[in-house]
A and B are shown apart, each in its own frame.
Chain A
Amino acid sequence: MNLYQAVIIGGGPAGMMGAITLGNHSVKTIILDENESIGGQLVKQTHKFFGDHAHYASTRGFEIAQKLDEEIVKNENIEVENDATVIGIYPNNTVVYIKDGQEHKIQAKKILIATGAMEKQLPFINSDLPGVYGAGAVQTLMNEYGIMPGKRFLIIGSGNIGLILAYQLIQAGVEVRAIVEALGKVGGYEVHANKVKRLGVPILLNHTIVRAIGDESVEGAVIAKIDDKFQTIPGTEREMVVDTIAISVGLTPLTELAEQAGCKVEFIPELGGYVPIRDERMRTTNPDVFIAGDLSSIEEATTAMIEGKIAALEMARDINGSDTKEEIEEELRTLALFRSGPKSVKIRSGLEKMGIKISIPTKPIINEKKEDVIGKLRAVLECDEEIPCNSCEASCPFGAIHIGENLNSTPVLDAEKCTGCGTCVNACPGLAIFMMKENEEESTVTLGIPYELLPLSEKGQKMWGLSKEGNYVCDVTVERVIKYPNKTNIVYAKLPIEFKDTVRHFAFPKKESPIVCRCEEVSLEQIEKVIDSGVTDFEEIKRLTRVTMGPCGGKNCKLVVLGILSRKTGVPISKLSHGTSRPPVKPVEFSVFKKGGDER
């Protein structure tokens, strides 16, 4: 049997970082991973990560996976066994896995289990119907394979995964009808919620899904309001036409292998369910077995990577006596900092149940906003929630953004120092920074927004300015579009100054326009276009668009067209020329005229 110094089960962020750390400390390590390539769930994350600039903040998930993979390939102490499904752990640190239809056994001095988590179930009527997916499954199909499982989505749960999924679905070009949330407030980060709200996705609080509709596959859903005891309020049920339902009500750790390795587990809901008991340095109740990542507590990829590193440093100490004490202490400090914000209350109380106390290094500060400098192109920071991230501060080349010692503090801008370069807009993972310049003399404002959708607009194009809730506010004119290699582009557009604090997204005007003339199929938009081009005579509009010239002779639409013309020109309908009425006023066969008639 092959004897390794260290075996890592699971090549996600925790396992990868663990391997790199072990390799760097000269420990011969093997990663066993069930997939064709390593990266875990990072490979399907297209959004930029929050966090510390030193820990891959502002980098998209799949790019973090690529970077870690490159380091692993370079490291000659690390071996990667892909397509290897671990099916059990036996005494004497024996790990059994299946590859290519064959059973393999290996032994290791130390084991790092980083098996991650899986989606929690949410039982409702027909929740087993095809078309009901875990949010992660939709991400896998969409972002890993480029395959879209539906056209109209309903998302259950407004945690970060649900919010991110909604945003990603819209990026991929499909419709998200709503996000349903049982609680009275959004579960995830405010900036993630704002991202989808301004794209027009309603987040329905105090709502739940009652049932999925469909025989063979989802064709709709019934949702309803719930009271404070989470009971459906009768009479509030309503149907939604959707073809796909994505569940994102949380993750739960995959503890089976850890349990087989003799690790004691306990039910700690704050950490995601059953979790292996471990010390601060990730050692379980089996001294040879360590854990890291979502298996130890449901958190972010960033904390998973730090945990992987801590576990590996402790393992290296055990295996070859590496002096890793200082490094461990440094990583523990970083980890504590990440968990010190108000959004980590649950994690902190869960860890406390295990006897691990997070000492908060410094309290996060709500930095007081400085006075704005009107009339200068500058950044506008709309990040008022204490989340662990400092990518704006780190990105600014001019030191104009201040967060301070604790990365959970909110950022403030020194507008005097800001040069309007837009680097922070491009870097912010929450897309919560905008650019602004008032053009007082013409009563307009130039607003720059981060834009990660297709198609990209062009200079001079007319778009709609949408509010923070995704509603139409006003027309805007695109001034310039700056493209960036990381795909977070900035679109600058001009709009009336009154709407400078209201508009936060630009959308292409909806293509749908009502048909006004049924016979000739002329839309409202077409009529308005002709009027806008300077044609204000009803007869002219007729000839150019064919309105009122079909079989009905204008009985249906004449008045509507005159109404549009009146609205556009300000001339009352009574003062407008309404054209000449010619026979026949009803449809008549040509043969009637051919025959000729008699005169009485």
Chain B
Amino acid sequence: MEGRIEEHPILQFKRKKKIKFYFEDREVEAFEGETVAAALHAAGIRVLRHTPNLGRPTGLFCAIGKCSSCLMEIDGIPNVRSCMTKVKEGMRVRRQKGKGDVL
């Protein structure tokens, strides 16, 4: 699949089960154990959100759950850190627009 490293001089990537999830209603393939942000990057998707005030596109920055740059709407819940959330079969992921609603 696009963006995935197949051969590496030091590492071996043991990928788990192949699954499917949805990004903006589009079907995307991923492997179990990957984070949402990682799986989206593998599919060539880097824009994860648009900012509340200026509407600027924003993506992943720290990838370790600290910077809040990658917040997305996952299964209807806004402000979820896509870099810390593991992707699941059938998961519905959307770019977050604005700050997200409280319930």
Contacts and interface: CB of A to CB of B under 8 A. Distances in A.
B42 A134 contact: no
A140 B64 contact: yes
Nearest to B35: A145
A171 B63 contact: no
| Band of interface residues on B | 35 or more
Interface string A449-460: 000111010000
Given A46-B11, A145-B34, A147-B5, A128 B56 contact: yes
A143 B3 CA distance: 13
B93 interface: no
Nearest to B61: A134
A505 to B, nearest CB: 14
Contacts of A453: 9
Interface in B1-47: 3-5, 7-11, 13, 15, 33-35, 38, 41-42, 46-47
Contacts, number: 114
B66 A454 contact: no
Contacts of B51: 128
A197 interface: no
B58 A130 contact: yes
B77 to A, nearest CB: 10
A46 B13 CA distance: 13
A148 B10 CA distance: 15
B59 interface: yes
A479 interface: no
A46 B10 contact: yes
B70 to A, nearest CB: 9
Contact of B62 (A130, A137, A217, A487): A137
Given A137-B62, A137-B64, A143 B47 contact: no
Contacts of A136: 62-64
A137 B60 contact: yes
B10 to A, nearest CB: 5
B61 A119 contact: yes
A413 B31 CA distance: 49
Contact of A149 (B11, B34, B41): B41
B44 to A, nearest CB: 9
Interface string A121-165: 000000011111110110011111111110000000000000000
B56 A147 contact: no
A146 B4 contact: yes
B46 to A, nearest CB: 4
B25 to A, nearest CB: 19
A216 B56 CA distance: 8
Given A137-B64, A146-B13, A216-B47, A172 B5 contact: yes
A143 B59 contact: no
Contacts of A133: 59-61, 63
A487 B34 CA distance: 26
10 contacts: A129-B59, A131-B46, A146-B4, A146-B11, A147-B3, A148-B3, A149-B3, A217-B46, A217-B57, A217-B59
Interface of B: 3-5, 7-11, 13, 15, 33-35, 38, 41-42, 46-48, 51, 56-67, 69, 83-84, 86
Interface of A: 34-36, 41, 46, 60, 62, 85, 118-119, 128-134, 136-137, 140-149, 171-173, 215-217, 254, 452-454, 456, 487
Closest 4 CB pairs of A and B: A130-B59, A137-B63, A146-B13, A130-B46
Given A134-B61, A173-B7, 13 more contacts: A46-B10, A62-B11, A129-B58, A130-B57, A133-B61, A140-B63, A140-B83, A142-B5, A143-B11, A145-B34, A146-B8, A147-B42, A148-B5
